[in-house]
Structure 1
Amino acid sequence: MVRILLVFIVRLFLMFGIVVLLFACAKKTSSESDLQNNSAPTTAPSDIASAQSKMTKRKLWDRMGKQLTFIQEGSHGPIIYDFTDTNCPVCHLIYTTEARLINEGKLTVRYVPVAMIKPSSMPEAVAILQAKDPVGKLQDIEQQIGDSMKTGKPAHLPRAIVAIGLASQETIKLTKKIETNDDFLQKIGVNDLPDVIYMPKEGRLGLITGLISQKQFTALLPQLQ
């Protein structure tokens, strides 16, 4: 009986930790509330708008493709950039929503790994990029994260050795690339996760911060290039 009680208490604490992370990686704003009310976002925050005042949205979009390090899933439908952290539960929920659209050939996602939430975020992100098959590794890790969220048991994700003096040259190179991804978000004034940037047929680049449903995502697709 005591053992069962202890297991229950441990699971309760784990679930509490997940709830805390949910709030940590997605602070709701007024625009996100609109998303929850099924109104698809069509405009970018002033920070992205400011960047676009100095260059066309196409030039900024092309710059993202050259500057950011990402893992692409899918080859059909419009392209979006999804900034994701392994320690962000909401990022996983976005991933599962996007996965269905990718499998249906309706969407191409460029997953941009960032390390913003925990110290373990960086070595976990590097481990994904170091894999021989980064797409397969990302899918495997997302599956582990999903299982962890269902069972309340912590996921034991692979981590690269990033300690100074111990990291390989490849690890150092990939760490700098992830830091560049982090810096990009900071330069456009974004501090919360998850973040999706998309290219609309009309208007400025769009930014979604926080959770978006399958229905909202589907409604947004016809507006994308």
Structure 2
Amino acid sequence: MAAPASNWPAPIKALQTQGVEIMGRFDAPGGMQGYAGILQHKPIGIYLTPDGKQAIVGTMLDAKGADLTAAPLKKLISKPMTAKTWSKLEQSSWIADGNQGAQRIVYTFTDPNCTYCNKFWNDARPWVDVGKVQIRHIMVGIIKDSSAGKAAALLGAQDPPAALTQHEKQHASGGIQAMAAIPADIRAKLDSNRKLMQELGFFATPTIFYKDPDGIMQTAQGAPSAAALNVILGTRQAGSR
């Protein structure tokens, strides 16, 4: 939730009119006042000069090159943003892949015709199959004309998780058959998922959301590398396939 703006200096109010959401203020070196802001779903540091007439946007470093902006942004923005966005992801229309009791939850926007989504699904098997991770696929239809119909067929299946598994295994040959006529309730779910994806500032699949060891939400786009998989899904245990 944004901080009240009634007493903010003019440069801070000016930034707000340009789309910056101010989340709070923090003490900064050099007689400056620091402000934590959000622009296009990204945290930014803002520094008000001692005379209150100018604002500088960016990262402040000390004499040794240490980042003085990251900690206050994490405190004032990252945790509230994580809670807010994670709640929106939870409330979207998704299909679970993996154990309901898995310790790690990962969300990803998935198009049924997306080759890189299929690669991520396959690459994640060593984590999902042992019950370590549950991946929640937020279905969208944006790549091909048949994407929406296939996404609708998956969401409307009698057993969506089983249908998703079968679809991904048969992805190379086309996967699930697209619905010819999408029911209004499923169309509404797909539209809501697409709008959420765009609201969060993403337009391609897969877009993956996960939490780092500090519980802060992070994102990744495209099929993750082997090293990235260990970050997103957790380090694989020795001997896992």
Q: Same fold (TM over 0.5)?
A: yes
1:201 deviates by 3.2
For residues 77-156 of structure 1, what are the structure 2 equivalents within 5 Å? Answer: 77-145=103-171, 148=172, 154-155=173-174
What secondary structure sits across from 2:40 in the alignment? helix
> Closer, same or farther in 2 for the Cα pair 1:49/1:204, shift >3 Å?
farther
For residues 49-88 of structure 1, what are the structure 2 equivalents within 5 Å? Answer: 49=42, 53=77, 55-66=80-91, 68-75=92-99, 76-88=102-114
Q: Which has the larger helix fraction?
A: 1
Could you list the runs of 5+ residues in structure 2 that have no partner in the other structure?
1-37, 44-75, 236-241
- Partner of residue 161, structure 1: 180
Deviations along 1:64-104, one digit per CA (max 9) or x if unpaired, are 212x1001122313101011111110110001112221002
1:107 deviates by 0.9
- Partner of residue 54, structure 2: none
TM-score under structure 2 length normalisation = 0.61
1:222 deviates by 4.6
Q: Which has the larger strand fraction?
A: 2
- Contact 1:61/1:199 (8 A) holds in 2: no
1:213 deviates by 2.7
1:211 deviates by 1.7
Larger radius of gyration: 2
1:203 deviates by 6.6
- Identity in percent: 24
CA RMSD of aligned residues (A): 2.5
- Partner of residue 20, structure 1: none
> Closer, same or farther in 2 for the Cα pair 1:63/1:102, shift >3 Å?
same
Corresponding residue pairs, total: 163
Amino acid across the alignment from 1:142: E
**In 1, Cα distance between equivalents of 2:233 and 2:161:** 23
**In 2, Cα distance between equivalents of 1:128 and 1:222:** 27
Amino acid across the alignment from 1:111: H
Higher relative contact order (CA 8 A, sep 6+): 1
Could you list the runs of 5+ residues in structure 1 that have no partner in the other structure?
1-44, 149-153
